[in-house]
Chain A
Amino acid sequence: MSAEMQFLVSGLTIGAIYALAALGFTLIYNASGVINFAQGEFIMIGGMLTAVLSGLGLPLWLALVLAVAGAALVGMLLQRLALDRARGAPVVSLVIITIGASIFLRGLAQLLWGKQFRPLPAFSGEQPLHLLGATLVPQTLWVMGVSALLMLALGLFFSRTLSGKAVLATAINAAAARLSGIDTRSVLLACFALSAALGAIGGALIAPITAASYEMGLMLGIKGFVAAVLGGLGVSAGAVAGGLLLGVAETLAAGYLSSAYKDAVAFALIFVVLFFLPNGLFGQRASERV
């Protein structure tokens, strides 16, 4: 029992980070139709900036707030300075712009903070806890708790607030949203900020477990994309389910099959799922307009 429990807990921990990244992909995809390959760099900025600032002696909460604000600012700059200027370009060109942005941000991080790993102390000590036969570090509780709260808040934001509904309306039909008086350009900007903030919080949460480095966003970003597609691109609940499923599948495979092929599980899984469900687990079957 205890081994399964252990895998489940670590799987849900990393899965929560994937889910946050996947939500970021979903937000931007819904608002603009673009897969933002710089999503992983938001995670990196969150982790690195928190680690660097707390290393300078800032209290952890302040470092975290500044890091998330910094990532949100980068997200908004990416939207305004790059993607907004290429409005009307083919989607592939927009995707290449986000790839350029991700290389740029990785290069910037390497220049500013070097190539070494940056440790970040755990939020509330390292004393392991015992729960239902599993041993876990307190940080995993932080990861799962904060992620769950964020997802709940996001759900309430979309269903209960006018701004949230404006985002949904823009995602469903941008032209109609504009006609009903929604400032879709601001909505787009807000989506980038929100998506960057989500990623950055994920990065800061996971940094005490994995340590932060300028390269940490690459794999986490790709896994977030896998999670988003797994759940059905554009469906928020699907993104969360996809992230958690991916995290658990990966840890189980690492535990029972082979740790070397842990990363391959994500891609094998996506293959199998897309083979049977071409629109992911929860994606709607879209009809094509001719």
Chain B
Amino acid sequence: MKLLDSRYGGLLLLAAGLLLLPWLAGNAYLLDVANRIAINAIIAVGLNLLIGYAGQISLGHAGFLGLGAYASAILCGSYDWPAWLALLSAAAGVALLAFLVARPILRLKGHYLAMATLGLGMIVSLVLSNESALTGGPDGMAVPGLVLFGWEPQGERAWYWIFATLLLLAIWLAQNLIDSPLGRALRAVHGSEVAARVAGVDTTACKVQVFVISAVFAAIAGSLSAHYTGFVTPGQASFLHSVELVTMVVIGGMASTYGAVLGAALMTLLPQLLSGLEDYEMLVFGLILMVSMIVLPQGLLPGLRGWLQTRRAA
């Protein structure tokens, strides 16, 4: 626990685990699952900055992910842009969009904010499924493989190293941000926005910054996952996917970066494990979601930590 609390201890531990994983679970299927977990974990770590630390909800983050994915798909597939340029343009475009909408949106509070972000995500997803000429409509479109300066990652293993590296980078960035003056300001905003403003924190600027950062995390993860799976569909930008992303953050434990990673892992693994149940899949998934939030309302990681501490104290 002490190791997890220190700034780099957890990161080292995770890095070691990620290094060992391909040897423990070497087959293509398991590596593919690991890759999907890493993609979701990158998004969840970014979203956790917004939800867990700044205390602002977003029900539209799948929209940013979808924009990233489709930008890469369209720019590389239809216009033959190099992958790195498409990825950076997607990230920059999403950052700009997030910045422009953040000011009016983040003035709103609580459920009004949830509504506005939900609306934003919905509009993105509707545009993606209706502009068939550009996006292939509801059927989605194929995405060419990732070629980075002549190198093309082949197979799950090569991609695994890319995603594992990016996940570590995302966590490192998030943790540095949390320990920075911005991170402290965000926690003050979470505690009480008025009090933070009185203490001289430019609360709007803080919220806008973290909103943009979390949107860019989602866009980059979206771009790469589009190249990885070779296909994009409007479903990736849907409301249900946004809800899934929020669930990852909340179920893992808000305001805990590793909680977000844990939540992403669970929410990715669960459908895989339940897929054998066929007709019962949705039923059981919903039930697990409810029961885990009833039993551990603070999320899994803080819940487990609290449980361990009370056991040690006893």
Contacts and interface: CB of A to CB of B under 8 A. Distances in A.
Interface string A99-133: 11111111110110000000000000000000000
B293 A106 contact: no
Given A90-B297, A107-B283, A270 B51 contact: no
B130 A274 contact: no
Interface string B190-210: 001111001000000000000
A270 B293 contact: no
B293 A274 contact: no
B250 A92 contact: yes
Contact of B112 (A88, A100, A264, A278): A278
A290 B195 contact: yes
Interface residues of A, number: 47
B282 A92 contact: no
Contacts of B287: 100, 104
A45 B127 CA distance: 30
Contact of B298 (A90, A100, A278): A90
A284 to B, nearest CB: 13
A225 interface: yes
B177 interface: no
Interface stretch (B117-125, B158-166, B167-175): B117-125
A158 interface: no
A92 B290 contact: no
Contact of A100 (B107, B111, B126, B289): B289
Nearest to B57: A92
- Residue picked from B114, B195, B289, B297, most chain A C-beta under 10 Å: B297
Contacts of B126: 260-261, 263-264, 267
A12 interface: no
A82 B192 contact: no
A290 B286 contact: no
Contact of A260 (B130, B288, B297): B130
Contacts of B120: 267, 271
Interface string A215-244: 000000010011001000100000000000
A290 B247 CA distance: 29
A160 interface: no
A191 to B, nearest CB: 17
Nearest to A37: B243
B14 interface: no
B70 interface: no
B283 A101 contact: no
Interface in A252-288: 260-261, 263-264, 266-268, 270-271, 274-275, 278-280, 288
A104 B119 contact: no
A225 B115 contact: yes
A88 B284 CA distance: 25
B108 interface: yes
Nearest to B131: A260
B279 A271 contact: no
Given A89-B293, A103-B286, A108-B283, 16 more contacts: A82-B290, A96-B247, A96-B289, A99-B289, A100-B288, A103-B282, A104-B286, A105-B286, A110-B279, A222-B118, A261-B130, A266-B119, A267-B119, A268-B123, A274-B112, A290-B195
8 contacts: A92-B254, A99-B243, A99-B289, A107-B284, A233-B112, A264-B122, A270-B115, A270-B116
In the A-B complex, list the 5 residue pairs whose CB atoms are closest, starting with the nearest: A107-B282, A104-B286, A89-B297, A100-B289, A103-B286
